[in-house]
Amino acid sequence: MQHLEITPALSNLLRSVDTPTVCNAIEVAQGKRGFDRFTRRTVMAADPALPAMFGFARTATIRAAHPSQDPPEEVRARRMAYYRYMSEDPSPRIAVIEDLDGADAVGAYWGEVNTTVHKGLGLTGALTNGLMRDLADLAPDFQVLAGGVGPSHAFVHVVEIDTRVTVFGLTVEPGDFVHADQHGAVVVPRDVLPVLPDAISKMQASEKLILEPARQPGFDYAAFEKAWSAFEKARV
């Protein structure tokens, strides 16, 4: 798979906009509605005030309800292979981890140690349907979007790395480009990524057609009708 370069300008833009904006811009870029590669459930953000995180997905599955049945040396080798995989390019990178325990997740994989290690390895954040803990001690500026909070890591262990995962109804392939914030996450199609800045600009310009009149004193239905007509002509 050919790697796409994320320029500093694109990075700054992606950090400055929220994930709903990116979802809308994808529809603008594609010229239609119906794009559906986004999360379907409410996520819990470790720090809702952090800007959006984004990157090429480094994926894995974990379990924690029961100990691994594999030999200890195999469990350790898989764990070390996981961290090596997480550290490798392309950049930027985001961890997308599926907890196979699902709704019965009991092990908090993301805490002070793991967020600090992953941040040190160059990842921008983590998206998981599993649990997090150590909320006051997570690595600074490292966002975690999780399914919940729990006190213990239980028997958490890595099951598989570099694999297709599903979190919050969103299926993510290794290498998919993910944009995520407190609202949830979206996979940006590879063909859309290069034109995303223009799509965001076009979308924001069209929204101004309704937002600016609506914020003016004396805004009424007649003004709304006129503004909405212009807005409808400009949007997807």
Give the residue from 55, 50, 45, 52 showing the smallest Cα distance to 15: 52
- Contact predicate 221/47, CB 8 Å: no
Percent with pLDDT over 90 in the chain: 94
Both structure tokens of 233: 């002509």
In a domain, 1, yes or no: no
Q: Are residues 149 and 182 in the same domain?
A: yes
- Contact predicate 66/155, CB 8 Å: yes
Q: Which pLDDT band, with edges at 50, 70 and 90, does 236 fall under?
A: low
Q: Are residues 96 and 212 in the same domain?
A: no
In a domain, 6, yes or no: no
DSSP category for residue 162: S
pLDDT of the residue at 233: 83
Determine the Cα–Cα distance for residues 170 and 94; give it in Å rounded to an integer. 15
Q: Are residues 68 and 145 in the same domain?
A: yes
In the predicted structure, residue 8 carries a pLDDT above the cut 80: yes
Instruction: Quote the domain boundaries for residue 222.
Output: 196-234
Q: Are residues 82 and 177 in the same domain?
A: yes
Q: Are residues 49 and 154 in the same domain?
A: yes
Q: Are residues 154 and 180 in the same domain?
A: yes
Partners of 61 in the β-ladder: 98, 160
Q: Write out pLDDT tens, residues 151-165.
A: 999 999 999 999 999
In a domain, 8, yes or no: no
pLDDT of the residue at 2: 57
Domain count, the chain: 2
Q: Which pLDDT band, with edges at 50, 70 and 90, does 38 fall under?
A: very high
pLDDT of the residue at 4: 79
Q: Are residues 176 and 206 in the same domain?
A: no
- Contact predicate 143/46, CB 8 Å: yes
Q: Are residues 99 and 182 in the same domain?
A: yes
Q: Are residues 77 and 172 in the same domain?
A: yes
Say which CATH number the domain at 45 has.
Answer: 3.50.30.40
In a domain, 62, yes or no: yes
Q: Write out pLDDT tens, residues 163-206.
A: 999 999 999 999 999 999 999 999 999 999 999 999 999 999 99
In the predicted structure, residue 1 carries a pLDDT above the cut 60: no
In a domain, 14, yes or no: no
Give the residue from 210, 235, 234 showing the smallest Cα distance to 224: 210
Q: Are residues 163 and 205 in the same domain?
A: no
